[in-house]
Amino acid sequence: MKLYNTLTRKKEEFLPIKKDEISMYNCGPTVYDFIHVGNARPLVVFDTLRRFFIYKGYDVKFVVNFTDVDDKIIEKANKENTTLKAISERYIDAFMEDAEGLNLYDYETINPRATEFINEMIKFIEGLVDKGAAYNVDGNVYFNIESAKDYGKLSKKNLDELRSGSRIEVNKEKKNPMDFALWKKAKSEEPYWESPWGKGRPGWHIECSVMAKSLLGDTIDIHSGGEDLQFPHHENEIAQSETLADKPFANYWLHNGMITVNNQKMAKSEGNFFTIKDISDEYSLEALRFFLLSAHYRSPINFSRDAMEQTVNGLNRLYNGKNNLEYLINKTRSRELDEEDEKSLEKINKYKEEFIKSMEDDLNTADGIASIFELVKFANTNLNERSNKKVIIHAQNTLTELSNILGILSKTEEILEEEILKLIEERSEARKNKDFQLADEIRDSLQEQGIILEDTQDGVKWKRV
């Protein structure tokens, strides 16, 4: 498998540290509000990578943290006159709902909260202080970037340029303007924890370093996140972790491209964002997931109603293909494979191989999706009531297998209520008697309830929309 590593700016062959286990850390949300589409992209993309690894037989330890202590959360808590915990609990719950809808929790994800690791953070910072890489100024502890070797190696920035291009206000406490806070002294009205430097709370960058170390070890296989986190967040994580451990922090750094709206980055601060909740009012979150996978993860992707409509229509095509196969399974019989059948099986396997190949090429989901469409097209065109059931089953299993890797096509048909079944019966009778007016009335009324009827050669099929 090849993955594009931001550290080297190259596609590299992926070699895990352990033979059959992979550790992944993805920067998760700061829980001060509902997450938006931009936040969802890395979650969906790297969940898909995780799924692919699992498919290939690896055990995957996948960590997505919650940043539950931060200026913004504190601000919100003060504004609403409630506690930090109340705010973070609220948005963690909301996150879980969104995540469920996006199929992010089909496999176990480790979701640590920053506040559960305060002791580890303090120890981590103490270690840096002992090494002379961090210094305490009146309760604020800063990391001295001069002490990190190769500072800037991820984002390819050099210190001089950073200094001259810096828009940061000069903080007189800092030895170097680019030094960043590991521990922040508590102001009044702020939640705090006791520490060797007095009351305070951790800085942002330290959280991820500590949770990754505590849960996955000093060196992890993959660290991922949005490309806007490359600097300073990921750069600072590297600086802290590698200075303390004297080992590489992550072997592969993966970054996804930004979601745009009218070709401008979707961002909280820009105000041009759509929350997952907004989207789910209008579209299924599965469609959103499919949309996010429809382009290569490193490309920017423009979010629009138009794009979502296209995605929904495409997804429907896949569902129709899936439903047709399901339908055929009950209509066909198994028999010895003949030459034609063998050819079909080969064809189906070819689509699968192509899919896998695409995924192994730096997670090219867009290309992989094309293989799934081709598989569906093949089934639609070549498989029918006279086909060998064995072939139908193979097509269906393959479709399920591949769509499971992407985390789509997971909805299963529900069972219809008695009275609706009766109505469908009634309509069939009416059609038999050429009473098309009644038949159409029933069909229309069912459509209003979200049930679409299709008359096929072998009777009535239905689906929910």
In the region spanning residues 139 to 178, those forming contacts with RNA, defined by CB under 7 A, are: 155-157, 161-162, 165-168
Q: Pick out residues in 23-82 that bind RNA (CB under 7 A).
A: 27, 29-30, 38-39, 41-42, 72
Give the 3-state secondary structure of residue 455: strand
Q: Pick out residues in 228-257 that bind RNA (CB under 7 A).
A: 228-233, 256-257
Structure token pair of residue 30: 């700061």
Of 21 and 150, nearer to RNA (C-beta) is: 150
**Could you say which of 211, 212, 301, 391 contacts RNA (CB under 7 A)?**
301
Query: Where does 233-301 have alpha helices with state H?
Result: 235-245, 276-282, 285-293
Min CB(371)–RNA separation in Å: 8
Size of the site for RNA (CB under 7 A): 80
Q: Pick out residues in 88-147 that bind RNA (CB under 7 A).
A: none
Residues 6+ apart with CB under 8 A from 164: none
The interface region with RNA, picked from 58-66, 116-124, 359-367, 405-413 by CB under 7 A, is 359-367
Strand order in the sheet with 180-185: 134-137, 140-143, 180-185, 200-202
**Could you say which of 2, 153, 277, 317 contacts RNA (CB under 7 A)?**
317
Intra-chain end-to-end CA distance of the chain, in Å: 38
Q: Which long-range contacts (CB under 8 A, 24 or more apart) does 303-310 make?
A: 303/37, 303/259, 303/260, 303/261, 303/266, 303/274, 304/261, 308/279, 308/282, 308/283
Min CB(38)–RNA separation in Å: 3
User: Residue 30 burial by CB count (10 A; 0-12/13-18/19+): exposed, middle or buried?
Assistant: buried
Min CB(115)–RNA separation in Å: 16
Min CB(427)–RNA separation in Å: 8
Min CB(294)–RNA separation in Å: 5
User: Is the preceding peptide bond at 248 cis, omega within 30 degrees of 0?
Assistant: no
DSSP character string of 1-22: -EEEETTTTEEEE---SSSSEE
CA distance 427 to 431: 6
Determine if 349 is a binding residue for RNA (CB under 7 A): no
Determine if 266 is a binding residue for RNA (CB under 7 A): yes
Determine if 212 is a binding residue for RNA (CB under 7 A): no
Q: Which of 116, 173, 172 is nearest to 141 (CA)?
A: 173
The interface region with RNA, picked from 123-131, 137-145, 307-315, 416-424 by CB under 7 A, is 307-315
Determine if 374 is a binding residue for RNA (CB under 7 A): yes
Of 118 and 295, nearer to RNA (C-beta) is: 295
The interface region with RNA, picked from 14-22, 54-62, 74-82, 219-227 by CB under 7 A, is 219-227
